[in-house]
DNA sequence: TGCGTGTGTCATTTG
DNA sequence: ACCAAATGACACACG
């Protein structure tokens, strides 16, 4: 048969009355009740926000943190102190309470950190002429991390903070700031709590050579004769701090220069005694990773559909210590276009459920009748029912209903429309087929019966017309649906011409192929539905992983802040033989692999840091 | 009239 | 090798 055959296709077209059904069904896909599409997406977003909010509650953040103005209020010291008083014991131990008076407390984590330097800090600065510093810079003397927590919504500042974290490896000590920081005046809570008064006899451990830990040597019996283990050239200056009792300082940092962590790099251009060499910090790797993670987070956001605002908000969320600022409209899960379409589909499903519920159930039952052809989608139907809630594909239901091809009556799912169905199909209702095959046209009375005959004629497919013209003695339904053996038996019962046999075989072939095509299309649709569901699942997973990532990064930063505070606390308590604090520009704390802490000169620390820095690079090569 | 959709059909592949 | 099913591609009807 040639294509010309199709040009004479008379029965292949849709009956005029058939379209309303198609339109009705297709309408489920196109029509979108005004409320549903958006509402579904927003509900999901709200869920996301709620999840994030709950996470934040765990971390001590309230929902009001999402409000920028509220976040500014958060800097109110009183409030912070109140929060901090509740949580300080988690990390600071004795003396922290007094310390907290001069600390800002992270609204979420409860971490305390120096909010500002003592009021007389400028006078101290002046007392150290060579290291004087513009007062305006003094707030930067602490780690950028700390300042970052004070203005969590200053995005640029946050970024710089992170960059500063990165640069902690290349930390250079600002002498003046260090002096200011660690030369606390007598009235300073830091000094009053962590160091002896200037008059207090230095609690000098002989074995410590030069270093002592004023006021808290019982807590930090850090010193032991480990100087010998250090290079002779610098041994005189080495002040090993070995905790006699297990200190809170963990050895997991390895032999690392801690000082680099806590003194901002090149805060200004002022003199730096030990300027130059980069120092690795114990968290350097982590910081790098965190930084890279954040960058990759941004990249991910940008690459995978986050718009810049969303990406920046995600970044902001990460940057913001205490604030989760994911706007509901920027939920990662709401970014998917496919999800949007799905949600709109679901809306139509819900809205059209009443009108199509019967169709759906009929569709399910009709699918179960497809066994003859082999493509049963019972399970698929169930899946679709489940998916309707999550994905929403009522329109596909309509399609499937329409595509219950194995049913002799294509419109069986909507019985009242059954007779309207356009009929290119070979699977006509038996009555129609019988009418087409059995009664001779002239047998019917005139009038209404003629009209009925015309109608039935129009209902007949092309091949049915041909079969009738060729006087095929059995129905097309039998021709198509009988098993091979029975079909052959049927053929053998009749004396058929070659033309008749050929037509019968064509009818059978086309009929089978038509059903196969219908099943194929149905399968294709199901595949698409499944893929869309998979995409949605993956998007949900992705959003969840992103949230987890943000949480991990946040907790990582909090841990770094705690380590930083501990470092400052320990270093600030150290006193030399004259009872004076050590200059952070000249000395640094360093973890040894065995858990001990050494006070070593900066120069030595720089050298070691440089050495350590080379190792990983060499490994990479 | 052009477009999108649904359908039937053919040719071919696949099992 | 044969057959049926599956599938891509095309044409057509319809809204």
Q: Decide: helix, strand or coil at residue A592.
A: coil
Mean pLDDT (whole number) for A163-185: 37
CB-proximal positions of chain C, under 7 Å: 3-9, 11-15
pLDDT-derived band at A292, boundaries 50, 70, 90: very low
At residue A471, does pLDDT exceed 70? yes
Instruction: Please tell me the predicted confidence (pLDDT) of residue A301.
Output: 44
Question: Could you give the C-alpha distances from A561 to A10, A148, A262, A357, A564, in angstroms and in order?
Answer: 81, 11, 9, 59, 5
Instruction: Please tell me the predicted confidence (pLDDT) of residue A483.
Output: 86
CA of A451 to C1' of B4 (A): 33
CA of A178 to C1' of C1 (A): 92
C-alpha to C-alpha distance for A100 and A106, rounded to whole angstroms: 11
CA of A393 to C1' of B4 (A): 19
**Per-residue pLDDT tens for A500-558?**
888 898 999 999 999 999 999 999 999 998 888 999 999 999 999 999 999 999 999 99
**Any strand C atom closer than 7 Å to A137 CB:** no
Backbone angles phi, psi at A257, to 5 degrees: -80, 115
Greatest CA separation for chain A: 130
| CA A615 to mean position of chain CA atoms | 34
C-alpha to C-alpha distance for A527 and A246, rounded to whole angstroms: 62
Instruction: Please tell me the predicted confidence (pLDDT) of residue A457.
Output: 65
pLDDT-derived band at A478, boundaries 50, 70, 90: confident
Q: Other C-beta atoms within 10 Å of A125: how many? A: 22
Kindly write down the DSSP assignment for every residue of A193-209, as one continuous string.
HHS--TTSPP---GGGT
CA of A477 to C1' of B10 (A): 21
Q: Decide: helix, strand or coil at residue A352.
A: coil
CA of A515 to C1' of B15 (A): 18
Mean pLDDT (whole number) for A10-33: 30
Protein residue at shortest CA distance from C1' of B6: A22
Instruction: Please tell me the predicted confidence (pLDDT) of residue A96.
Output: 37
**Any strand C atom closer than 7 Å to A7 CB:** yes
Instruction: Please tell me the predicted confidence (pLDDT) of residue A558.
Output: 97
Q: Which CATH number fits domain A460-527: 2.60.40.4070, 3.40.50.300, 1.10.3720.10, 1.10.880.10?
A: 1.10.880.10
Q: Decide: helix, strand or coil at residue A114.
A: strand
Compute the Cα dihedral for A588, A257, A573, A188 and give only its sign: positive
CA of A18 to C1' of B5 (A): 13
Protein residue at shortest CA distance from C1' of C4: A512
- When the pLDDT of each residue in chain A is averaged and rounded to a whole number, the result is 50
Compute the Cα dihedral for A509, A512, A518, A524 and give only its sign: negative
Higher pLDDT: A617 or A140? It is A617
Identify the CA nearest to A572 among candidates A194, A208, A115, A97: A194
H or E element: which one contains A399? helix A394-402
Protein residue at shortest CA distance from C1' of C3: A484
CA of A19 to C1' of C14 (A): 7
Question: Could you give the C-alpha distances from A225 to A210, A222, A265, A294, in angstroms and in order?
Answer: 11, 10, 31, 43
Mean pLDDT (whole number) for A94-116: 37
pLDDT-derived band at A607, boundaries 50, 70, 90: confident
CA of A366 to C1' of C2 (A): 32
Instruction: Please tell me the predicted confidence (pLDDT) of residue A475.
Output: 85
Instruction: Please tell me the predicted confidence (pLDDT) of residue A540.
Output: 97
pLDDT-derived band at A614, boundaries 50, 70, 90: confident
Residues 6+ apart with CB under 8 A from A498: none
Residues 6+ apart with CB under 8 A from A79: A73, A107
**Per-residue pLDDT tens for A219-230?**
333 333 333 333
Calculate what percentage of chain A has a pLDDT beyond 90.
Answer: 8
**Any strand B atom closer than 7 Å to A471 CB:** no
C-alpha to C-alpha distance for A257 and A371, rounded to whole angstroms: 74
CA of A204 to C1' of B9 (A): 100
Q: Strand B: which of residues 233-262 in chain A lie with Cβ below 7 A?
A: none
**Any strand C atom closer than 7 Å to A524 CB:** yes
> Which nucleotide is nearest, taking the CA of residue A508 and each C1'?
C4
**Any strand B atom closer than 7 Å to A28 CB:** no
CA of A454 to C1' of B2 (A): 33
**Any strand C atom closer than 7 Å to A523 CB:** yes
Mean pLDDT (whole number) for A420-449: 37
**Any strand C atom closer than 7 Å to A516 CB:** yes
Go through A267-303 and write b for each residue having 16 or more CB atoms within 10 A of its CB, e for each that does not.
Answer: beebebebeebbbbbbbbebbeebeebbeebbebbee
CA of A552 to C1' of C3 (A): 61
The tokens describing A329, both together, are 């409209």
**Per-residue pLDDT tens for A302-323?**
444 444 344 444 444 444 333 3
**Any strand B atom closer than 7 Å to A425 CB:** yes
Question: Could you give the C-alpha distances from A134 to A126, A131, A326, in angstroms and in order?
Answer: 10, 10, 38
Instruction: Please tell me the predicted confidence (pLDDT) of residue A548.
Output: 98
Higher pLDDT: A155 or A77? It is A155
CA of A371 to C1' of B7 (A): 22
The conformation of residue A170, written as its DSSP 8-state character, comes to B
Mean pLDDT (whole number) for A559-585: 90
At residue A456, does pLDDT exceed 50? yes
CA of A418 to C1' of B7 (A): 17
Q: Where in chain A is the domain with CATH 1.10.880.10?
A: 460-527
Protein residue at shortest CA distance from C1' of C10: A3
Residues 6+ apart with CB under 8 A from A109: A59, A60, A87, A321, A322, A558, A561
Instruction: Please tell me the predicted confidence (pLDDT) of residue A495.
Output: 87
**Any strand B atom closer than 7 Å to A531 CB:** no
**Any strand C atom closer than 7 Å to A19 CB:** yes
**Any strand C atom closer than 7 Å to A521 CB:** no
**Any strand B atom closer than 7 Å to A402 CB:** yes
Mean pLDDT (whole number) for A579-606: 87
pLDDT-derived band at A450, boundaries 50, 70, 90: low
Instruction: Please tell me the predicted confidence (pLDDT) of residue A380.
Output: 35
**Per-residue pLDDT tens for A367-408?**
333 333 334 433 333 333 333 333 333 333 333 333 333 333
**Any strand B atom closer than 7 Å to A1 CB:** yes
Q: Is the separation of the CB atoms in A363 and A406 below 8 Å?
A: no
CB-proximal positions of chain B, under 7 Å: 5-11
Instruction: Please tell me the predicted confidence (pLDDT) of residue A553.
Output: 98
**Any strand B atom closer than 7 Å to A417 CB:** no
**Any strand B atom closer than 7 Å to A429 CB:** no
CA of A509 to C1' of C2 (A): 15
Instruction: Please tell me the predicted confidence (pLDDT) of residue A489.
Output: 85
Q: Is the separation of the CB atoms in A429 and A480 below 8 Å?
A: no
């Amino acid at each position: 048969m040639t294509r010309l055959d199709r040009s004479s296709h008379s029965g292949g077209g849709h009956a005029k009355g058939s379209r309303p059904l198609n339109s009705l069904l297709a309408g489920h896909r196109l029509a979108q009740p005004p409320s549903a599409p958006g509402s579904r997406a927003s509900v999901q977003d709200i869920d996301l926000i709620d999840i994030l909010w709950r996470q934040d509650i765990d971390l001590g953040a309230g929902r009001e943190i999402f409000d920028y103005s509220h976040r500014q209020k958060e800097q109110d010291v009183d409030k912070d102190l109140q929060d901090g008083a509740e949580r300080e014991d988690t990390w600071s131990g004795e003396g922290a309470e007094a310390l907290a008076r001069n600390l800002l407390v992270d609204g979420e984590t409860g971490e305390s950190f120096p909010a500002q330097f003592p009021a007389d800090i400028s006078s101290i600065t002046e007392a150290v002429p060579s290291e004087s510093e513009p007062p305006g810079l003094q707030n930067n003397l602490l780690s950028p991390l700390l300042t970052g927590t004070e203005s969590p919504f200053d995005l640029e500042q946050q970024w710089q903070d992170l960059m500063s974290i990165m640069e902690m490896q290349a930390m250079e000590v600002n002498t003046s700031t260090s002096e200011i920081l660690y030369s606390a005046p007598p009235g300073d809570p830091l000094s009053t709590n962590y160091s002896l008064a200037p008059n207090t006899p230095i609690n000098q451990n002989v074995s410590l050579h030069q270093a002592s830990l004023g006021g808290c040597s019982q807590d930090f019996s850090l010193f032991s004769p480990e100087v010998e283990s250090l290079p002779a050239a610098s041994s005189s200056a080495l002040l090993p701090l070995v905790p006699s009792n297990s200190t809170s300082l963990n050895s997991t940092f390895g032999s690392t220069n801690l000082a680099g962590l806590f003194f901002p790099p090149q805060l200004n251009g002022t003199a730096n005694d030990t300027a130059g060499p980069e120092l690795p910090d114990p968290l350097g790797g982590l910081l790098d990773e965190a930084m890279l993670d954040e960058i990759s987070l941004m990249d991910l956001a940008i690459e995978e559909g986050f718009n810049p605002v969303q990406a920046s908000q995600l970044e902001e969320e990460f940057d913001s210590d205490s604030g989760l600022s994911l706007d509901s409209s920027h939920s990662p899960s709401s970014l998917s276009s496919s999800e949007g379409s799905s949600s709109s589909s679901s809306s139509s499903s819900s809205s059209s459920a009443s009108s199509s519920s019967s169709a759906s159930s009929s569709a399910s039952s009709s699918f179960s009748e497809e066994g003859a052809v082999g493509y049963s989608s019972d399970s698929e139907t169930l899946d679709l029912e489940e998916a309707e809630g999550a994905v929403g594909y009522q329109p596909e239901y309509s399609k499937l209903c329409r595509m219950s091809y194995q049913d002799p009556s294509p419109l069986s799912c909507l019985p009242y429309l059954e007779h309207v169905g356009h009929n290119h199909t070979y699977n006509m209702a038996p009555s129609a087929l019988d009418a087409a095959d059995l009664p001779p046209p002239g047998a019917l009375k005139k009038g209404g019966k003629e009209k009925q005959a015309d109608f039935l004629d129009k209902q007949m497919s092309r091949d049915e017309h041909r079969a009738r013209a060729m006087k095929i003695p059995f129905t097309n339904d039998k021709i198509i649906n009988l098993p091979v053996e029975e079909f052959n038996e049927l053929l053998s019962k009749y004396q058929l011409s070659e033309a008749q046999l050929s037509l019968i075989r064509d009818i059978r072939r086309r009929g089978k192929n038509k059903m196969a095509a219908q099943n194929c299309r149905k399968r294709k649709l199901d595949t698409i539905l499944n893929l869309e569901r998979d995409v949605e699942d993956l998007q949900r997973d992705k959003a969840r992983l992103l949230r987890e990532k943000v949480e991990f990064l946040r907790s990582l930063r909090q841990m770094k802040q705690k380590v930083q505070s501990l470092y400052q606390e320990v270093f600030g308590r150290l006193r030399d033989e004259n009872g004076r604090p050590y200059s952070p520009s000249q000395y640094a704390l360093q973890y040894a692999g065995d858990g001990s802490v050494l006070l070593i000169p900066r120069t030595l620390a720089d050298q070691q840091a440089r050495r350590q820095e080379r190792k990983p690079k060499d490994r990479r090569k």
